[in-house]
Structure 1
Amino acid sequence: MWDLSCPDWQDRIREGRSLVPDLPLFHEEANLAVQFFDNLRIPDVEGMPLMRDACGEWFREIVAVLFGSYDPVAKQRYIQEIFALIAKKNSKTTYGAGLMLTALLMNTRPRAEFLFVGPTQAIADLAFSQAAGMIEADPELLRRFHIREHLKEIKDRLNGAKLKIKTFDLKILTGPRPAGVMIDELHLLGGDQYAPKVLRQLRGGRQSTPEGFLIITTTQSDSPPTGAFEEELKTARAIRDGKVRGKMLPILYEFPDDIAGNPKLWRDTRNWPMVMPNLGRSLRLDDLADDWETEQSKGEHAIRVWASQHLNIQIGLGLRGDSWAGAEFWEAAADASITLDEVLRRSEVVVIGIDGGGLDDLLGLCVLGRCATTKKWLCWFHAWAHEIALDRRKSEAGRLRTFEKQGDLTMVKRPGDDVDEVVVIIRRVEETGLLAEESAVAVDSVGIGDIVDAVTTEDIISIDRIEGISQGWKLNGAIKTTERKIAGGDLLHAGRPLMAFCVSNAKIVPKGNAVSIDKAVSGTAKIDPLMALFNAVYVMASNPEPAFSQLPDDFEIRVI
């Protein structure tokens, strides 16, 4: 197995050097593929220049390593996959269409099938238009290939091989065993619950062809990465950094850590060429700088979206002009050491907030403790969702599955199973003696019934220790208190992706001199665990005392 890591990538990208490590390529194969690619013409540019003149060296290198990693004698491919993170306007789709035409030209397998997969109809149509235009611009290619526009298909008349351009769809993509696949803009499929399944299917189908390959080109997501995109990006970074071995070659045009984490540095146009490999060809720095100035005037949300698309800045929270004010400070308040055990170990008193629970909603829970030494507020979150939510909220299904894998969300099949698990946690906290003597559990007053029935039936706590919290503008005080605590570093959380997602979804609604955060305004996006936090803050702000203060001096506090 070849070593595809590039541990010195940060030095390489600063110096403008190749992000591909030194590899023992089969140069005859690599050179032939680059020769084919170089002689393609770009059909939608004046003069239809050849790729050798118009394409950046960075993509020609991708062509070389993809086809030069195949040993035609031993019938073995040493690089089975490429994951390329490339910012917007770097001609990914056009170059990708050219790469797949090159695959047809390099192919020796009769009736082999190649796929170019676009996440949207527009991207798939563009890719087909570019591939067809390249063929029509060359008389020799036009004699060899048959363009079937109604099928978005290109057929090789010599051996029956086909290049099919498809829009991402589970039904269409399940079944074929392609010799080569290219997926463009994977980040747009992050929320698609079927994307991981399709990738597994495509990878499995590739096993029947030793020369088979999968190449993914994508821009960074304009929201926190999730689903298939997040998984593939993590794998690519781990291989690049030498943490794991694999047959995926990562080529990631993203800033070094010190620049990516410092807005002052990544906003400096002098650093932008690092992540713009096609600069001077399909994009110009002056034009981008002008566009950047325009976006800055639109607010933080526009800035972050622009930066994610043009600079590959990975954003943790998708801030908007109507975002909750606390979102700006949420990331800085993260403490990865916070778990439920830690909250119980470090706290002198604990309250619990609960919100949501409809069949297509999350049931969110927040355990909020007041630290015995620092008096800071420590919060731990969990959420539950019914499986029916995956069908009713298909746009969020991929995210929910990701949160489930990360351990912050539990999927339940039967209504009531979620409440049963909440009751287990309430019992656990109550048995420590830390649960507040009064107003111990704060619940949305509209959805209080099931929780009250469950905890009182189990005889865990008395009904007078459960407080129904009115929502809307009446939560204004709790919302403002949470903002101040987070901004001042007095409220800490574990920095989990579930809560970053919920916080980024929260939209404020002005109500006179007050503000509220309304679920209806957030649409299909989920904020229930955040609302659970506000419920918990509402009662913690009253400075509660723990129930164990009324117990005998020899009572032993147990943290389970």
Structure 2
Amino acid sequence: MRSTDAIAAPSALPRFACPDWWERIQRGEVPAPTVPLNEARAAKALAFFNRLRLPDVPGNPPLSEACGDWFRFILCAFLASEDPVTKRRLVWELLCMVPKKNSKTTYVAALGLTALYMEEAPNRQMLIVAPSQNVSERCFEQAQGMIRIDQRLTQIFQVQDHHKCITRRKTGTQLNVKSFDTQIVVGEIPVLTIIDEVHELGKKAKAAAVMQQIRGGGITMQGGQVLMITTQSDEPPAGIWKTELKKARAIREGKGGANPIMLPVLYEYPQALQREDKKHPDKTFWRDRKNWPLLLPNLGRSIDPERLIEDYENNGKVNPEAEQIWVSQHLNIEVGVGISQDGWTGADFWPQAVDETLTLDTLLERCEVITIGADGGGLDDLMGVAVIGRERETREWLAWCHAFADPKVLERRPEIAPRLQDFKAEGTLTLADTKTRQAELVKLLRRLVESGLLPQENAAGVDPNNVAALFEAFEEAGITDEQIKRLLQGRALQPGLFGLELKLDDGTLWHADQDLMNWVVGNAKIEPLGNYVIVTKQISGRAKIDPFIALMQAAILMSWNPDAPVDISDFLRNAVMV
């Protein structure tokens, strides 16, 4: 990573910071800092929680035996945190990421019942929200079952099966278990909301708006808490899940502000240890099964160690795609960081080639010549523009990209809509109608022309098929026909594919840290074709790669070593001096 910024060590850790989280995991501890508690409230919560019994396990063992201390930490921190001076609650939100089969759905059902029992105010609302009907039913069945096998609890709670509602008889406060819906909290101000499998909400276009509604209760005088518990996503994090995970990691590292309200409890390997060792796969950290228990706090309780290995051997290893899904769910390996499937080799070096100072402005300031790549698409596609510059002093390549799309893509490709909204917020995607989009494209191209850094020939690479709008934009921006090089896709782009790989491998290509390109580069799928390898939209499927196509086009033109444009004023000045 290239950066000119020095990071100063803070004199004191902000609230909920836990820079030694990995050391704590290795010691078998919860990866979170100590949280000040109201000891009496914590003891009351633990006493109730521990007596709840598992309804679907032979013998119905109580949670005092069946639950690990890791979740009891979450229970107490969430329900009984207290500032020792002000006596105010500290933990208003908590995000726990823990691998699959660690009984999180059962435990949050028990936590919900405990919170319902602890709430003394009358007629309040509590929610457990699941991403699908199956998950919500499972959660409700666990809570319902815990009540019905304990006669004392049936006197405390009333269960309404058809409404998935549990009411505390004394107060009238209700715990409702619901499937995710955009209208889920209309008319309600929940004092507590538990969201199971929040990573699935990252795939829903309007999840951010719903989360904002849920959090709206937190600013009222009665307050409102939010507990999110989830596995890692089986796709690269997107939407609300990406936002919450990024926030939690920042708080954990002490970069989330002085007084955050979210407590992160993230069971994951450091990102450097999540990456697959391509040259020595057997030495990849997470492939060593001795390292699996580090992230499985319920191993030996809800997880059978031998069955876990058998499942990996029989199901997780059948192909790279299956393995990627398996490790994302059972080891919280982030997709896009760990295994790459039949992807582009250069993607393995992409994360290390970030220049944190690089923007389009700094690229134009630092470079002596630039080339452009442009790739267009239809209404359900992206239009990608890539700029590669050759740095004056080092002659290294600097890359910056942007994408354009019609808003209709959000309707036609709802599965990637949250991700596209992320890119719009990042500033790397322009979502606009045809007229506005074309105007913005011309504005960008004109800026590149006015920089004076485009060579007189072979300055802009473009596929000549189905790109009338691109040629119109080139002409309007002042790019001449001599400067346009028509580059077909398919095997004709192989020099750009291999050229970028080599430049990334030897450390002579740097790119702006754009989530758009991190996603696009990860989407690029490779296919052998005779003596060639190709990357095409057809191979990559629904996952967009247009900006990557544009990057390859710009790379081909830059690999031809264009001469830096001559500044006529310097030429005349030198002529006078002579």
Q: Structure 1 length as normaliser, TM-score?
A: 0.90
Q: Corresponding residue for 1:62? A: 74
| Equivalent residue in structure 2 for 1:445, among 425, 449, 464 | 464
Q: Which amino acid aligns with 1:523?
A: G
Deviations 1:170-212 (A, max 9, x none): 1233442112100011111223231121111101024336353
Distance 1:13-1:48 versus aligned 2 partners, 3 A rule: same
CA distance in structure 1 between the aligned counterparts of 2:220 and 2:523, rounded to whole angstroms: 43
SS of structure 1 residue aligned to 2:183: helix
SS of structure 2 residue aligned to 1:77: coil
Q: Please state how far the C-alpha of 1:57 moved relative to its aligned partner.
A: 0.9
Between the two proteins, what is the percent identity of the paired residues? Answer: 42
SS of structure 2 residue aligned to 1:447: coil
Q: CA RMSD in A?
A: 3.0
Q: Structure 2 length as normaliser, TM-score?
A: 0.87
CA distance in structure 2 between the aligned counterparts of 1:524 and 1:304, rounded to whole angstroms: 18
Distance 1:272-1:457 versus aligned 2 partners, 3 A rule: closer
| Equivalent residue in structure 2 for 1:15, among 20, 23, 27 | 27
Q: Corresponding residue for 1:355? A: 375
Q: Which amino acid aligns with 1:84?
A: C
Deviations 1:436-476 (A, max 9, x none): 22121112212332222233235x12223223322234434
Deviations 1:495-520 (A, max 9, x none): 42111111222223444443433324
Q: Which amino acid aligns with 2:524?
A: A
Distance 1:175-1:527 versus aligned 2 partners, 3 A rule: farther
Distance 1:423-1:457 versus aligned 2 partners, 3 A rule: closer
**Residue 385 in 1 paired to residue 405 in 2?**
yes
Q: Corresponding residue for 1:530? A: 548
CA distance in structure 2 between the aligned counterparts of 1:454 and 1:262, rounded to whole angstroms: 42
CA distance in structure 2 between the aligned counterparts of 1:299 and 1:548, rounded to whole angstroms: 54
| Equivalent residue in structure 2 for 1:121, among 129, 133, 136 | 133
Q: Is the Cα contact below 8 Å between 2:376 and 2:470 reproduced in 1?
A: no
Q: Corresponding residue for 1:96? A: 108
SS of structure 1 residue aligned to 2:208: helix
Aligned counterparts, 1:366-377, within 5 A: 366-377=386-397
Distance 1:203-1:122 versus aligned 2 partners, 3 A rule: same
CA distance in structure 2 between the aligned counterparts of 1:75 and 1:10, rounded to whole angstroms: 31
**Residue 323 in 1 paired to residue 337 in 2?**
no
Q: Please state how far the C-alpha of 1:549 moved relative to its aligned partner.
A: 7.6
Distance 1:191-1:501 versus aligned 2 partners, 3 A rule: same
SS of structure 2 residue aligned to 1:445: coil
Q: Corresponding residue for 1:506? A: 524
Deviations 1:352-396 (A, max 9, x none): 001124333222110012344544332111112232322322221
Q: Please state how far the C-alpha of 1:536 moved relative to its aligned partner.
A: 1.7
SS of structure 2 residue aligned to 1:222: coil
**Residue 32 in 1 paired to residue 50 in 2?**
no
Distance 1:238-1:76 versus aligned 2 partners, 3 A rule: same
Q: Which amino acid aligns with 1:461?
A: I
Q: Is the Cα contact below 8 Å between 1:473 and 1:514 reproduced in 2?
A: yes
Q: Is the Cα contact below 8 Å between 2:350 and 2:504 reproduced in 1?
A: yes
Q: Corresponding residue for 1:157? A: 169
Q: Is the Cα contact below 8 Å between 2:524 and 2:535 reproduced in 1?
A: yes
CA distance in structure 1 between the aligned counterparts of 2:324 and 2:28, rounded to whole angstroms: 25
Q: Is the Cα contact below 8 Å between 1:146 and 1:156 reproduced in 2?
A: yes
Moved more, 440-449 or 340-349: 340-349
| Equivalent residue in structure 1 for 2:443, among 406, 409, 424 | 424
Q: Please state how far the C-alpha of 1:305 moved relative to its aligned partner.
A: 3.2
| Equivalent residue in structure 1 for 2:243, among 231, 235, 247 | 231
Q: Corresponding residue for 2:358? A: 338
Q: Is the Cα contact below 8 Å between 2:21 and 2:31 reproduced in 1?
A: yes
Q: Corresponding residue for 1:106? A: 118
Distance 1:23-1:456 versus aligned 2 partners, 3 A rule: closer
Q: Is the Cα contact below 8 Å between 2:376 and 2:467 reproduced in 1?
A: no
CA distance in structure 1 between the aligned counterparts of 2:184 and 2:491, rounded to whole angstroms: 48
| Equivalent residue in structure 1 for 2:455, among 436, 439, 444 | 436
**Residue 285 in 1 paired to residue 305 in 2?**
yes
**Residue 247 in 1 paired to residue 267 in 2?**
no
Moved more, 487-496 or 440-449: 487-496
Q: Corresponding residue for 2:7? A: none
Q: Corresponding residue for 1:492? A: 510
Q: Is the Cα contact below 8 Å between 2:388 and 2:400 reproduced in 1?
A: yes
Distance 1:128-1:409 versus aligned 2 partners, 3 A rule: same
Distance 1:355-1:113 versus aligned 2 partners, 3 A rule: same
CA distance in structure 1 between the aligned counterparts of 2:504 and 2:352, rounded to whole angstroms: 8
Q: Corresponding residue for 2:535? A: 517
SS of structure 1 residue aligned to 2:264: strand
Moved more, 116-125 or 267-276: 267-276
Deviations 1:313-357 (A, max 9, x none): 334357554323333333233333333234334433311001124
Q: Please state how far the C-alpha of 1:300 moved relative to its aligned partner.
A: 4.5
Q: Corresponding residue for 1:314? A: 334
| Equivalent residue in structure 2 for 1:183, among 169, 174, 195 | 195
